């Protein structure tokens, strides 16, 4: 990315509006953003000259009876590529995406160790493999996004604490940049997925929404007034650590009764084993037993749904999102149907007033989509000014939402195999 293209608020506004809502005419950009037509033209020109934007054939007039038809601006999605990697305690999942965060190729790499040095070494190998899939990737991919669970200091590129990796104060951005030669942005994995939904998914057209993830942990990303909320310490939205179980059970965070200590994969499996009397029960077997009607195991999933529903209601009462997107990994989402009824019931009972009308959307996401979230954060870092909200989403309407669906990630990426 040319370093001067998004050096002004007008440039960032114009480009991100076309990226997330385009194709869109200059006249419409001016209307939605409040910029003058001259300012829009001036801001768009360098992007057109650098090959990031193109003018499509004129399709509409600026106004009834007006002069020549408007020529919509559109993104050239393969002008630049981005690499995104989701880091788990078991493996790395990586993708290369285009400018619209559409995954083009993906690969997995198991981890032999969770030490920072071992993970970074495996990361460098995975990135090299991904970029070698097409000569264009190596030529036009300069940025890497990393998504990690836990407490991540995005501004300083440091993983302050990741419970599943057992990392403390790891300068991941610097280590990864040295190993790959790319510009590296790191963020919490749930916040990364939230950015992808805000820019290219079910959050488009919504000023305030929440993303709740169900799986190994229970996470939440928040968007308020078009901004992803990180909070003063970068941990805003941690509904997994809202206490809903009184004094029990103990959570890995040191607290007690946390949602995550009840509904996370590991504690849920432990409870299912205790309820069934089968110490060898797997998560998949627990899900099968519950679907088959085992009342004790079904009660375990209902308790998890109750805990998540209470936490979601508390969050909805606090900031009143227009919608809550519920997603997660496997087996988290595979078990969703088992606690969906209880989750909805507990949410409706605890949500105050009109907060109970908040729309709940179930959106299963593969791990490749979490890696896509990491790439989306890298895209955002490149094309917006730090701290600036995504402009004009509420005024975009259904037309903008439809336009961005092409890049929503529904198409499966090409999978690299050994």
Over residues 147-156, the pLDDT tens digits come to: 998 899 999 9
| Structural domain count of the chain | 3
Do 175 and 208 touch, CB atoms closer than 8 A? no
Mention every residue, 6+ apart, whose C-beta is less than 8 A from residue 21. 32, 204, 392, 393, 396, 400, 403, 404
Same domain? 94 vs 151: yes
Task: Tell me the CA distances in angstroms from 47 to 40, 41, 387, 390, 400, one per residue in order.
Answer: 11, 10, 22, 18, 20
Same domain? 348 vs 258: yes
Whether residue 201 is contained in a domain is answered as no
What is residue 401's predicted lDDT score, i.e. its pLDDT?
A: 32
DSSP for 114-163, written as a single string = -SHHHHHHHHHHHHHHHHTT-HHHHHHEEEEEEEESSEEETTTTEEEEET
Average pLDDT, stretch 246-275?
88
Query: Of 94-103, 214-223, 243-252, 403-412, which gets the smallest average pLDDT?
Result: 403-412
Q: Looking at 47, 77, 107, which one is the last position of a domain?
A: 77
- Tell me: the pLDDT tens digits for 58-76? 765 545 555 556 789 999 9
Rounded to whole angstroms, the Cα distance separating 335 from 189 reads 21
Q: Looking at 362, 377, 399, which one is the last position of a domain?
A: 362
Average pLDDT, stretch 276-298?
92
Per-residue burial over 49-83, b if 16 or more Cβ lie within 10 Å, else e, is: eeebbbeeeeeeeeeeeeeeebbbbbbebbbbbbb
Do 211 and 220 touch, CB atoms closer than 8 A? yes
Whether residue 3 is contained in a domain is answered as no
Q: Looking at 56, 77, 98, which one is the last position of a domain?
A: 77
Q: How many CB atoms lie under 10 A from the CB of residue 34? A: 12
Phi and psi at residue 184, to the nearest 5°: -115, 135
Question: In which residue are the tokens 């968007």 written?
Answer: 223
What is residue 4's predicted lDDT score, i.e. its pLDDT?
A: 53
Please, what's the largest Cα pairwise distance for the chain?
A: 77
Same domain? 123 vs 254: no
Residue 14's CATH number:
1.10.10.10
Whether residue 130 is contained in a domain is answered as yes
Same domain? 214 vs 232: yes
Q: Is the pTM of this model over 0.85?
A: no
Same domain? 147 vs 71: no
| pLDDT > 90? residue 187 | yes
- Tell me: the pLDDT tens digits for 74-103? 999 999 999 999 999 999 999 999 999 999
What is residue 350's predicted lDDT score, i.e. its pLDDT?
A: 93
Rounded to whole angstroms, the Cα distance separating 194 from 198 reads 6
Residue 332's CATH number:
3.30.420.40
Whether residue 226 is contained in a domain is answered as yes
**Higher model confidence: residue 369 or residue 235?**
369
267: containing domain = 206-362
Q: Which H or E run contains 224?
A: strand 218-224
Same domain? 276 vs 410: no
What is residue 415's predicted lDDT score, i.e. its pLDDT?
A: 59
Which residues are 103's β-sheet partners? 97
Do 193 and 327 touch, CB atoms closer than 8 A? yes
For the record, the structure tokens of 44 come out as 């768009």
- Tell me: the pLDDT tens digits for 326-371? 987 655 556 667 888 888 899 999 999 888 888 888 887 788 999 9
For the record, the structure tokens of 249 come out as 């059970």
Phi and psi at residue 415, to the nearest 5°: -95, 130
Same domain? 17 vs 97: no
Q: Which of 407, 391, 298, 387 is nearest to 31 (CA)?
A: 391
Q: Above pLDDT 90, what percent of the chain?
A: 58
Same domain? 36 vs 173: no
Q: Which of 382, 389, 415 is nearest to 101 (CA)?
A: 382
What is residue 387's predicted lDDT score, i.e. its pLDDT?
A: 44
Same domain? 128 vs 213: no
Rounded to whole angstroms, the Cα distance separating 184 from 225 reads 27
Rounded to whole angstroms, the Cα distance separating 410 from 203 reads 15
Whether residue 23 is contained in a domain is answered as yes
| pLDDT > 60? residue 3 | no
Beta-strand pair 323-328/183-188: unpaired
């Amino acid at each position: 990315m040319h370093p001067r293209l998004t050096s002004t608020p007008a440039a960032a506004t114009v480009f991100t509006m076309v990226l997330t809502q385009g194709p869109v005419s200059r006249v419409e950009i001016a209307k939605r953003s409040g910029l003058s037509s001259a300012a829009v033209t001036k801001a768009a020109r360098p992007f057109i000259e650098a090959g990031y934007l193109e003018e499509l054939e004129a399709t509409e007039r600026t106004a009834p009876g007006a002069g020549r038809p408007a020529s919509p601006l559109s993104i050239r999605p393969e002008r630049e590529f981005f690499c995104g990697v989701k880091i788990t305690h078991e493996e790395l999942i990586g993708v290369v995406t285009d400018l619209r965060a559409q995954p083009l190729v993906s690969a997995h790499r198991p981890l032999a160790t969770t030490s920072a040095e071992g993970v970074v070494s495996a990361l460098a190998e995975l990135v090299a493999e991904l970029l070698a899939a097409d000569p264009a990737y190596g030529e036009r991919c300069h940025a890497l996004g990393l998504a990690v669970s836990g407490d991540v200091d995005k501004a300083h590129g440091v993983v302050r604490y990741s419970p599943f990796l057992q990392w403390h104060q790891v300068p991941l951005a610097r280590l990864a940049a040295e190993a790959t030669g790319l510009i590296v942005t790191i963020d919490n994995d749930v916040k990364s997925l939230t950015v992808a939904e805000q820019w290219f998914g079910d959050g488009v057209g919504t000023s305030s929404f929440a993303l709740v993830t169900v799986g190994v942990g229970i996470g939440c990303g928040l968007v308020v007034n078009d901004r992803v909320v990180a909070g003063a310490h970068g941990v805003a939205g941690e509904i997994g650590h809202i206490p809903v179980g009184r004094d029990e059970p103990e959570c890995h965070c040191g607290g007690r009764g946390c949602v995550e200590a009840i509904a996370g994969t590991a504690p849920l499996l432990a409870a299912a084993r205790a309820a069934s009397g089968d110490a060898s029960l797997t998560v998949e077997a627990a899900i099968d037993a519950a679907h088959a009607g085992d009342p004790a195991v079904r009660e375990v999933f209902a308790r998890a749904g109750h805990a998540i529903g209470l936490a979601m209601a508390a969050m909805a009462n606090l900031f009143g999102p227009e919608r809550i997107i519920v997603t997660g990994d496997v087996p988290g989402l595979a078990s969703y149907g088992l606690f969906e009824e209880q989750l909805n019931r507990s949410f409706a009972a605890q949500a105050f007033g009109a907060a109970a009308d908040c729309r709940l959307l179930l959106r299963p996401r593969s791990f490749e989509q979490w890696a896509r979230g990491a790439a989306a954060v890298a895209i955002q870092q490149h094309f917006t000014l730090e701290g600036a909200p995504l402009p004009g989403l509420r005024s975009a309407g259904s037309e903008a939402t439809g336009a961005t669906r092409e890049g929503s990630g529904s198409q499966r990426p090409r999978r690299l195999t050994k």
